[in-house]
Amino acid sequence: MGLAVGIDLGTTNSCLAVVQGNKATVISDHIGRRIHPSVVSFLPDGTSVASYEARERQITDPRNTVSSFKRLIGRDFNGPEAMASLADLPYEVGFGPDHVPLIRVRDQEVSLPEISALMLRHLKELCSESLGAEVDKAVITVPANFNDVQRSSTKIAGRIAGFEVLRILNEPTAAALAYGFGGERSEKIAIYDFGGGTFDITIVELAGDIFKVLATAGDTALGGDDFDTVIVEEMRADFIDKHGVDLAGNTVAMQRLRLVAERVKCQLSCLEHVEATLPEIAENRAGRAIDFHFKMSKSRFEGLCRPLVDRSLDVCVEAFKLAGIDRSSVDNLVLVGGSTRIPLIRNLVGREFGVRPRVEINPDEVVAIGAAIQAFSLTRYQMSRPSAPPEPYAADKRCSSAPPVVWSDGPKGRESSGPLPAVLDVFSDASSDAKSCEGAGGEPPAGGSRRRPSDDFGWLDLGLSEPPEEPHVKAPRTSVIKRRKDVVHGAPSWPPMQQGDAFSVDIKVGATNALLLDVTPRALGIGTAGGFCDTIIERNAAIPVEQSRLFTTSYDGQTEVVVNIYQGESRRVSDNTRLGQVLLSSIRAAPRGEIKIRVTFEIDTDGILGVFARNEETGEAQSTRIVLSGGLDEITVRALVEKYASE
Amino acid sequence: MNRRNSQFDAYVLEIHKVLDQLDYYHLLGVQPGAGVSRVREAFLSIAAKFHPDRNRDASDEVRAALYEIFKRLNEAYRVLCDPQKKAVYDQGLAEGRVRLEQTHRAAGPKSPEDALKSPQARQFYRQAASDLKRGALMQAELNLKLASTHEKSPNAAIEALRAKLEDAKKQKGKN
């Protein structure tokens, strides 16, 4: 039996962790690298490489090197997000049946779950090598706001890579788990996750070892990239002022501005002023090359960023409303995602919540660590799954003497001392021995005692207070910038990390027996006449969850009913994301309205939709087919699993 | 810790058998007057033992039963913690319905003009419909035209009314 690991399959970088001996460890490759670029490159000989080796090839072979695939996975090719992200991609994207996006590389078309699978397979091999043991199970994380198709496509990728996917886990929930809060006291944790492309806020209530997500909300169009954009716009305006030339139409120049902007952003997290020089960025009207010198102060940057941070805080307000709690009741605030390194964010968010943000665990690794903990707690019960049920260890007579049949006597007979709670209590000892194993759970969060006294909201300034007269010109000289200009950027060069250093090796695991009760981020609905959406499963409903609806034929002799499914809260389908269709077929021809079919929509513990239908008269299962926009069907998936297993 | 109690499993299967007859109060083991904190406490204590994740070593049959039970527990918890839903549920329960049956609530358009996005378009649409009713075809046509200029995207309700108007015009022409 193989090991179970946690995988944070990121847009830019991926990270792996495992729990062994009550410690969570980030798995590094043979030369000690702890994060792995999410890039896959297809070679001329028909094979492929992933991670660092693939990232090298972004420069030499950009057309056959696929990065940022997480932005495309499970997306409808015609969707606005997919289209927007296409513009920046150096490789070619096409589409197959049901709008499935396909990547065209070396005269073949590869689906996105396959590309993700190649990355995951690389990570799987890396784990096996590093741990010296077979690894065949994984918890894979996704952003909280991933929709059904994105989740199922990620799970499919895991299967193709040869993993048993134990769970598709929300990234903020994983982060909460990594911090391993806990103990007897009930507390509320807010996880503020500002990633490269999206923003999520999740509020978790912790009771003992149960993590119950109260609410999750997000803005899919708000991310760290937006900070780059405000700097780029500032640069563009500055260039117009100085040289009278608008760089907007100059793609190459704009790309260079963007690369430099990202570095300026990172530098401004620890410096008061940053200068940059972009040699020969454009030509003036006389045809002479212009060098562009650009300066930006931290306060200017923060002024520009403020609206973006405020936007994220508005989403937080929404989340608190959904959770039905006041923000002052938050006991702990966890920051996740690279953008939370920006001091302004730390300060504003900390002030807003009235608590000091927790940043001890490296934000690049915290999600993988949480996933590893969940993988561990999911498999510990499975370890010795017996082939035959064992003898009862506590032959309690009350079990048989109080059969649950008693409460089947109708809804009216509800005595206060109904047998159900009493019988449930009988089993309280079933978990007590498991509980005693998690001694670490009662300890204060591991980070608390190791904070430096100087740690405060603005600690980054203290550590790096630099003489202001020194111009920190990370001036990209001609050769440097030229070489960089067409490179799809990898990890941004953030200032040296102070946080996480003490914890970068092992994290003591406090929540090995954690039980996660998560929610579905978006409402699920069906399309009705007139472009309306009828909500079936509400937003933020605890999962697993199911709801059913009765459908009937609308004309005589109708043998097929098509149900359109949407994700989103709006009453109008046009404002929601179309997930796909459910086809009810082979219906007996009958007068309209005679046939009644009960369709049950279920969202499972992975946040993935399932649809079942039953004929109300006959009680027989009704044949159904779900077609998801941008998703692969089961037959294709099986074929892919076999194909990659035999390779 | 990894030895399963077969009586627990038998109990799970028993509950599963009668799941559709259990009302939310019995399922959670609380009294109908119980407050949110009592409901929450009951839910968490059941979740701690009955959640499918806590029973991954169980047989497939037991796990499937636990999964179904847990979905119902989530449903019960959600309803009992929401005062509005709880009120509707209690009413239904008095009539013998143990689950809160989601009927087709007001998600769809109540009247045809609800499907119009623009409030002005709705007004003109209503006017046009009443014009048509009383036979003022010219005014109906004008109002309908105004409705469609306010409503940017093509709309089924407007098209339907336009078709009716055309029919009425033809009818009038014949007479």
Please indicate, yes or no, whether residues A156 and A73 belong to a single structural domain of this protein: yes
Token representation of residue A523: 């409402």
In this predicted structure, which of A81-95, A130-144, A317-331, A461-475 has the lowest mean pLDDT? A461-475
How crowded is residue A552: how many other Cβ atoms within 10 Å of its Cβ?
15
Give the amino acid at B58: A
Q: Which residue from A96, A115, A94, A101 is spatially nearest to A42, judged by alpha carbons? A: A115
In this predicted structure, which of A182-186, A299-303, A381-385, B171-175 has the lowest mean pLDDT? A381-385
A296 domain-assigned: no
A460 domain-assigned: no
pLDDT tens readout for residues A40-49: 999 999 899 9
Contact state of A385 with B18 under an 8 Å Cβ cutoff: no
Instruction: Give Dmax over CA atoms of chain B in angstroms.
Output: 88
The whole-angstrom distance between B104's CA and the closest CA on chain A is 7
pLDDT tens readout for residues A210-234: 899 999 998 877 888 788 888 889 8
Q: In the beta sheet, which residues pair with residue A572?
A: A532
Q: What is the pLDDT averaged over residues A347-367?
A: 87
Please indicate, yes or no, whether residues A379 and A505 belong to a single structural domain of this protein: yes
Q: The whole model's pTM is what?
A: 0.74
In CATH, what number is assigned to the domain containing residue A594?
A: 2.60.34.10
Distance, CA of A359 to CA of A336 (rounded, Å): 8
Sign of CA dihedral A490, A492, A497, A502: negative
Neighboring chain A residues of B26 at a CB cutoff of 8 Å: 407, 411, 414, 418, 420
- Say how many domains are in chain A: 2
Q: How far is CA A420 from CA B40, B46, B55, B73, in A?
A: 16, 10, 19, 13
Distance, CA of A163 to CA of A5 (rounded, Å): 10
Structure confidence at residue A159 (pLDDT): 93
Q: In the beta sheet, which residues pair with residue A88?
A: none
Q: Which residue from A375, A364, A369, A373 is spatially nearest to A38, judged by alpha carbons? A: A364
User: Per-residue pLDDT for A409 more than 50?
Assistant: no
Could you list the residue range(s) of the whole structural domain that residue A551 is in? 424-438+520-635
Contact state of A525 with B107 under an 8 Å Cβ cutoff: yes
A127 domain-assigned: yes
Residue A326's pLDDT band, with cuts at 50, 70 and 90, is confident
Q: Buried b / exposed e across A43-56, counting CB within 10 Å, b at 16+?
A: beeeebbbbeebbe
Q: Which of A485, A517, A549 is the last residue of a domain?
A: A517
Please indicate, yes or no, whether residues A122 and A29 belong to a single structural domain of this protein: yes
Contact state of B102 with A549 under an 8 Å Cβ cutoff: yes
Q: Which residue from A536, A517, A555, A559 is spatially nearest to A609, judged by alpha carbons? A: A536
Structure confidence at residue A645 (pLDDT): 83
User: Per-residue pLDDT for A255 more than 60?
Assistant: yes
Distance, CA of A68 to CA of A374 (rounded, Å): 26
Is B95 exposed, middle or buried, given 0-12, 13-18 or 19+ CB atoms closer than 10 A? exposed
A374's CB contacts (< 8 A; 6+ apart) are A6, A139, A166, A167, A169, A174, A177, A514, A516
Distance, CA of A383 to CA of A378 (rounded, Å): 9
Sign of CA dihedral A150, A152, A157, A163: positive
Measured CA angle at A205 (ends A8, A356), to 5 deg: 75
Neighboring chain A residues of B50 at a CB cutoff of 8 Å: 424
Distance, CA of A347 to CA of A340 (rounded, Å): 10
Residue position matching structure tokens 């029973």: B55
In CATH, what number is assigned to the domain containing residue A348?
A: 3.30.420.40
Contact state of A547 with B71 under an 8 Å Cβ cutoff: no
A194 domain-assigned: yes
* Test the B interface: residue of A536, A545, A548, A564 with most B CBs within 10 Å: A545
Q: How would you classify the pairing of strands A332-336 and A187-194?
A: parallel
Structure confidence at residue A80 (pLDDT): 63
Of B154 and A72, the one with more pLDDT: A72
Please indicate, yes or no, whether residues A387 and A529 belong to a single structural domain of this protein: no
Q: Which DSSP string corresponds to A147-185?
A: -HHHHHHHHHHHHHTT-EEEEEEEHHHHHHHHTT--SSS
A370 domain-assigned: yes
H, E, C per residue of A467-496? CCCCCCECCCCHHHHHHHCCCCCCCCCCCC
Which among B11, B18, B55 has CB closest to A408? B18
B175's CB contacts (< 8 A; 6+ apart) are none
Q: What is the pLDDT averaged over residues A155-177?
A: 93
Distance, CA of A4 to CA of A134 (rounded, Å): 9
Q: Which DSSP string corresponds to A556-595?
A: TT---EEEEEEESS-SBGGGSEEEEEEEE--PPP-STT--
Structure confidence at residue A447 (pLDDT): 35
Q: What is the pLDDT averaged over residues A381-399?
A: 37
Distance, CA of A149 to CA of A581 (rounded, Å): 12
A342 domain-assigned: yes
Distance, CA of B91 to CA of B79 (rounded, Å): 13
Residue B173's pLDDT band, with cuts at 50, 70 and 90, is confident
Is A620 exposed, middle or buried, given 0-12, 13-18 or 19+ CB atoms closer than 10 A? exposed
Please indicate, yes or no, whether residues A513 and A525 belong to a single structural domain of this protein: no
Helix (H, G, I), strand (E, B) or coil at A507: strand
Please indicate, yes or no, whether residues A506 and A536 belong to a single structural domain of this protein: no
Structure confidence at residue B133 (pLDDT): 83
Q: Which residue from A535, A543, A489 is spatially nearest to A516, judged by alpha carbons? A: A543
Q: Which residue from B60, B59, B52, B100 is spatially nearest to B77, judged by alpha carbons? A: B100
Please indicate, yes or no, whether residues A89 and A130 belong to a single structural domain of this protein: yes
Q: Which of A484, A517, A550 is the last residue of a domain?
A: A517
Specify which of A81-90, A117-126, A611-620, B161-170 reaches the highest per-range mean pLDDT.
Answer: A117-126
How crowded is residue A78: how many other Cβ atoms within 10 Å of its Cβ?
13
Contact state of A572 with B70 under an 8 Å Cβ cutoff: no
A203 domain-assigned: yes
Indicate the DSSP class of residue A632: -
pLDDT tens readout for residues B34-52: 888 899 999 999 998 899 9
Number of helices (H), then strands (E), in chain A: 16, 29
Contact state of A528 with B93 under an 8 Å Cβ cutoff: no
Please indicate, yes or no, whether residues A36 and A82 belong to a single structural domain of this protein: yes
H or E stretch covering A291: strand A289-297
User: Per-residue pLDDT for B94 more than 90?
Assistant: no
The whole-angstrom distance between B15's CA and the closest CA on chain A is 6
Helix intervals (H) in A24-111: 52-60, 80-86
Q: How far is CA A126 from CA A9, A13, A132, A238, in A?
A: 14, 15, 10, 47
Q: How would you classify the pairing of strands A577-584 and A561-567?
A: antiparallel
User: Per-residue pLDDT for A148 more than 70?
Assistant: yes
Of A427 and A36, the one with more pLDDT: A36
Is A484 exposed, middle or buried, given 0-12, 13-18 or 19+ CB atoms closer than 10 A? middle
Give the amino acid at A645: A
Which among B5, B11, B22 has CB closest to A393? B5
Contact state of B8 with A430 under an 8 Å Cβ cutoff: yes
Q: Which of A517, A550, A571 is the last residue of a domain?
A: A517
Token representation of residue A586: 């082979």
| Summary mean pLDDT of chain A | 76
How crowded is residue A402: how many other Cβ atoms within 10 Å of its Cβ?
18
Please indicate, yes or no, whether residues A513 and A624 belong to a single structural domain of this protein: no
Structure confidence at residue B150 (pLDDT): 80
Residue A509's pLDDT band, with cuts at 50, 70 and 90, is low
Structure confidence at residue A313 (pLDDT): 92
Structure confidence at residue A73 (pLDDT): 86
User: Per-residue pLDDT for B147 more than 60?
Assistant: yes
Q: Does A544 reach chain B within 8 Å, measured CB to CB?
A: yes
Q: What is the pLDDT averaged over residues B116-124?
A: 75
Residue B143's pLDDT band, with cuts at 50, 70 and 90, is confident
Distance, CA of A262 to CA of A257 (rounded, Å): 9
Specify which of A98-102, A113-117, A512-516 reaches the highest per-range mean pLDDT.
Answer: A113-117
Please indicate, yes or no, whether residues A193 and A139 belong to a single structural domain of this protein: yes
Distance, CA of B48 to CA of B70 (rounded, Å): 11
Q: How many residues does chain B have?
A: 175
Token representation of residue A42: 């297809």
Distance, CA of A197 to CA of A240 (rounded, Å): 29
Please indicate, yes or no, whether residues A585 and A502 belong to a single structural domain of this protein: no
Q: How far is CA A382 from CA A1, A3, A29, A370, B3, in A?
A: 11, 12, 28, 19, 11
Structural domains of chain B in order of their starting residue, each with its CATH number: 6-94 (1.10.287.110), 112-174 (no CATH)
Q: What is the pLDDT averaged over residues B66-87?
A: 91
Q: Does A388 reach chain B within 8 Å, measured CB to CB?
A: no
Surface of B (66-125) touching A: CB under 8 A: 67, 70-71, 74-75, 77-78, 93, 96-98, 102, 104-105, 107-109, 112, 114-115, 117
Q: How far is CA A374 from CA A5, A175, A371, A441, B54, in A?
A: 9, 11, 5, 14, 12
Residue A153's pLDDT band, with cuts at 50, 70 and 90, is very high
Q: Which DSSP string corresponds to A210-224?
A: EEEEEEEEEETT-SH
Structure confidence at residue A1 (pLDDT): 67
Q: Which residue from A617, A389, A361, A406 is spatially nearest to A504, judged by alpha carbons? A: A361
Measured CA angle at B146 (ends B140, B151), to 5 deg: 120
Contact state of A534 with B14 under an 8 Å Cβ cutoff: no
Distance, CA of B153 to CA of B8 (rounded, Å): 59
Q: How would you classify the pairing of strands A515-517 and A210-219?
A: parallel
Q: How would you classify the pairing of strands A506-508 and A23-26?
A: antiparallel
Residue A385's pLDDT band, with cuts at 50, 70 and 90, is very low
pLDDT tens readout for residues A533-581: 888 898 899 999 998 888 888 888 888 888 888 888 888 887 788 888 8
Residue A278's pLDDT band, with cuts at 50, 70 and 90, is confident
Q: What is the pLDDT averaged over residues A374-378?
A: 90
Q: What are phi and psi of A297, to 5 degrees?
A: -100, 160
Q: Does A547 reach chain B within 8 Å, measured CB to CB?
A: yes
Q: Does A619 reach chain B within 8 Å, measured CB to CB?
A: no
Please indicate, yes or no, whether residues A171 and A93 belong to a single structural domain of this protein: yes
How crowded is residue A442: how many other Cβ atoms within 10 Å of its Cβ?
11
Residue A184's pLDDT band, with cuts at 50, 70 and 90, is low
H or E stretch covering A241: helix A224-243
A419 domain-assigned: no
Q: Does A482 reach chain B within 8 Å, measured CB to CB?
A: no
